[in-house]
Amino acid sequence: MNFARSASLRLLSPSSGASFGKLLKIGVGASAVVGTGIFLSQQNASASSDQLQPPHYPWSHGGWWQAFDHASIRRGFQVYKQVCSTCHSVHRIAYRNLVDVAFTEAEAKAFAAEATYMDGPDAEGEMFERSGKLADYLPRPYPNEQAARFSNNGALPPDLSLWVKARDRHEDYIYALLTGYHEPPAGVEIRNGLYYNPYFAGGAIGMTPPLTSNGQVEYDDGTPATISQMAKDVTTFLAWAAEPEADDRKRTGIKTLFILTCIAVPLLYFKRFKWSVVKHRVIAFKD
């Protein structure tokens, strides 16, 4: 065995506490350096992109102890239904998901009955149309991808089910995009059919401004439907649609932390005052 190998074995020996501690410190330091490098590279990449970064907005459901604003979800669904659903789908949400979240069961059934679904086959093997029911998912605006592209000059409107989760800065990005349509600044040329939005990559977006004027949607609770209010509500609805179980998960987490805290107190007592005595006792056998 050569000197280098024997030295490495001594360094990694369990009996060498100082060497093991040194290795642990080196590993922690290296991990910190690598993590810092990755974070800075992401920040530089974000800052050097060709889109404006959205500001941070104080969303009511942002904290781990905060729940969704269900009134805002209800209003956001109205905005989606009357404005966004002409081009975009939310096919991961069924009408039953809206019950006791934004609408009563009767209201959700009424919304479902307004849509028509192809079902079957029947007893004669034929497909038939029927009214929607709670188990049905929100309808798609187009029957297939080709029809969607044909109606939007070749662009495919994305499904919005997971749009909030799929975008960096999540709700902040969606809100900034919806309210960020402006006339292009001097020196910036936008091709015909595109619109200037500094929050979109490249600054040119093919989606026409969805929210164009105050009062575009009439809320049934009397809330003034300003452009910013509509953008905030539909963003809240899309955030909920991306994670409908978020409130239940937070509630379960809070209950779990409370139970663990209650268990920790007696465990600490028995560990400190009961088990420590047993752990350090010495049993001696005498003739």
Secondary element (H or E) of residue 34: helix 17-47
For range 240-267, the mean pLDDT: 92
Q: Has residue 243 got a pLDDT over 80?
A: yes
pLDDT tens string 47-84: 446 778 999 999 999 888 899 999 999 999 999 999 99
- In degrees, rounded to 5, the angle at the alpha carbon of residue 111 between the alpha carbons of residues 105 and 116 is 130
Position 2 pLDDT exceeds 50: no
**CA-wise closest residue to 55 among 205, 149, 179, 151:** 179
Q: What is the pLDDT of residue 33?
A: 60
Checking if the pLDDT of 137 tops 80, the result is yes
Which has the minimum average pLDDT: 149-153, 158-162, 250-254? 149-153
Least confident of 2-16, 81-95, 147-161, 205-219: 2-16
pLDDT tens, residue by residue, 216-240:
999 999 999 999 999 999 999 999 9
What per-residue confidence (pLDDT) applies to 155?
A: 85
Q: What pLDDT score does 37 carry?
A: 57
Q: Is 25 or 214 the better-scoring residue by pLDDT? A: 214
Phi-psi region of 125 (alpha: psi -120 to 50; beta: other; left: phi over 0): left
CA atoms within 13 A of residue 266's CA, in its CB half-sphere: 4
What is the Cα–Cα distance from 149 to 242, expressed in whole angstroms?
A: 24
Lowest pLDDT segment from 12-21, 185-194, 251-260:
12-21
Check whether 27 has a pLDDT greater than 80.
no
**pLDDT (0 to 100) of residue 35:** 60
The per-residue pLDDT of the chain, averaged, comes to 84
Kindly compute the dihedral angle of the four CA atoms of residues 235, 240, 243, 244, in this order, to the nearest 10 degrees.
-160
Contacts of 132 (CB under 8 A, 6+ apart): 95, 111, 112, 113, 114, 115, 116, 117, 139
What is the mean pLDDT of the segment spanning 21-41? 60
Tokens describing residue 132 = 């929607």
Residue 34 clears pLDDT 90, i.e. is over it:
no
Beta strands in the chain (DSSP E): 116-119, 128-131, 195-196, 204-205
What confidence tens digit (pLDDT) does each residue in 72-122 have? Answer: 999 999 999 999 999 999 999 999 999 999 999 999 999 999 999 988 888
Q: What percent of the chain has pLDDT over 90?
A: 57
DSSP state of 242: H
